[in-house]
Amino acid sequence: MKKLLFTIFLLALAASCLIGSTAINPLNASPVERDILLGLRLPRVLFSAVIGAMLGLSGSIYQLTLKNPLADSFTTGAASSSALGAVLAIALGLPLPLVPVIALTTGLVGLLSVYRLSKTNGIINPVTMILAGVVINVVASAVISFAKYFFEDSLSSIVFWLMGGFFVVDWGKLLFCALVLLVTYILFIGKALQLNLLAFDEHSAQSLGINVDRLRTVSFIVATALVAVAVSNTGIIGFVGLIVPHISRSLFGSDMRQNLFFSTLLGALLLVLADAAARSIIPGGAELPVGIITALLGGLFFLYLLRTRRERFWHG
């Protein structure tokens, strides 16, 4: 199954390189088309795959550590609080390498606030968590709106960036994000068996030899680092991390040794396809920010989850 999915992913990568405002026939490409293919589309498609993988991986970690099937970078408030830091950094004209650092800091503050607000007597209540996520999203949106109002000169770039997309991609950015993904994936996969035990109640996990607090804290920080790096490079692309861990669990089981791999791969696949759609959906060469497409997919998926599994969610 792993091989089949990987083949589908490679085919999607190839197809996504060839489609867009103009379709390119690789067997009969002009020099200009070859430049577009290798200089623009290939890095962009690879970049969308890496960002999708980052969001899928972070979603898998958030859902497990927060014991909440609705958790992802968007619903936990991590993405919007990371975006808040990134927007302020951009608006204040800070050097570009500082943007992910500021995004990570505000992202962690946002996520830890949600965690604190939703924890009662050592138990994370899923309903409270979603409400706390809403609070963080609202506060972050308010500050971002203020930044848009106050820093008028940066308005258009902030708005465009916030919608989420892969408009400007270079190999340096791509390699940096790929490296971050690789390092975090190796770290998580090395802890996959331990992570499984976080699915138990806290005392059971502890009695099985897990330092629950430490593992959960490290997982939070690393997953939020993934989100912060993704958000500071592409803006908010929501719901990828919500959708793919669910699909992975229903197809390949809940074992994190499988779920981490499939959430990462399916996240990459989903975003490559969404970006291909964003580039081709409007006739005449214009393109949509990919965040619009994932938000639409995510909204529908959220609705499906609420309709089919309502009882379990609202009773924790």
Partner 1 sequence: MAELRVENLNFSRGEFNLQLDRLTIKPGEKVVILGENGSGKSTLLQLLCGVLHGMGEIFYDKKPLQKIPVSERARIFSLLPQFSEVIFPFSVEEVVLFGRFPHTDGNRFSDEDKKISEQQLVQLDLLHLRERQFNQLSGGEKRRVMLARVLNQESPIIFLDEPNSSLDIRHTLEIFELINRREETVISPVHDINLAERFFDRFLLLKQGQLLADVSREQLTPELLTETYNVVVTSGAPAFTFQHQ
Which of 17-25, 150-158, 194-202, 222-230 is the region at the interface with partner 1 (rule: CB under 8 A)? 194-202
Residue of 193, 281, 296, 306 that binds partner 1 (CB under 8 A): 193
Triad 187, 52, 237: Cα angle to 5°: 120
Q: Does 201 bind partner 1 (CB under 8 A)?
A: yes
Residue 258 CA: distances (Å) to CA of 75, 236, 305: 24, 27, 22
Nearest distance in Å: CB 143, partner 1: 33
Q: Are 299 and 306 in contact (CB under 8 A)?
A: no
The DSSP call for residue 72 is S
> Do residues 99 and 86 make contact, with C-beta atoms less than 8 angstroms apart?
yes
Does residue 194 belong to the site contacting partner 1 (CB under 8 A)?
yes
Distance CA 5, CA 245 (A): 15
In the complex, the smallest distance separating the C-beta of residue 289 from partner 1, rounded to whole angstroms, is: 32
Which lies closer to partner 1 via its Cβ, residue 154 or residue 194?
194
Size of the site for partner 1 (CB under 8 A): 26
Q: Between β-strands 123-124 and 119-120, what pairing exists: parallel, antiparallel or unpaired?
A: antiparallel
For CA atoms 159, 162, 165, 170, the dihedral sign is positive
Q: Provide, rounded to whole angstroms, the least separation between the CB of residue 6 and partner 1.
A: 22
* Site stretch for partner 1 (CB under 8 A), options 15-23, 151-159, 207-215, 292-300: 207-215
* Of positions 64, 177, 180, 225, contacts partner 1 by CB under 8 A: 64
Instruction: Determine if 210 is a binding residue for partner 1 (CB under 8 A).
Output: yes
Q: Tell me how far apart the alpha carbons of residues 265 and 53 are, in angstroms, rounded to a whole number.
A: 6
Among positions 105, 113, 154, 206, the unique one binding partner 1 when judged by CB under 8 A: 206
Does 139 bind partner 1 (CB under 8 A)? Our answer is no
Helix residue ranges per DSSP H, 253-289: 256-280
Site residues (CB under 8 A) for partner 1?
Answer: 63-64, 67, 69, 190, 192-194, 196-197, 199-204, 206-211, 249, 253-255
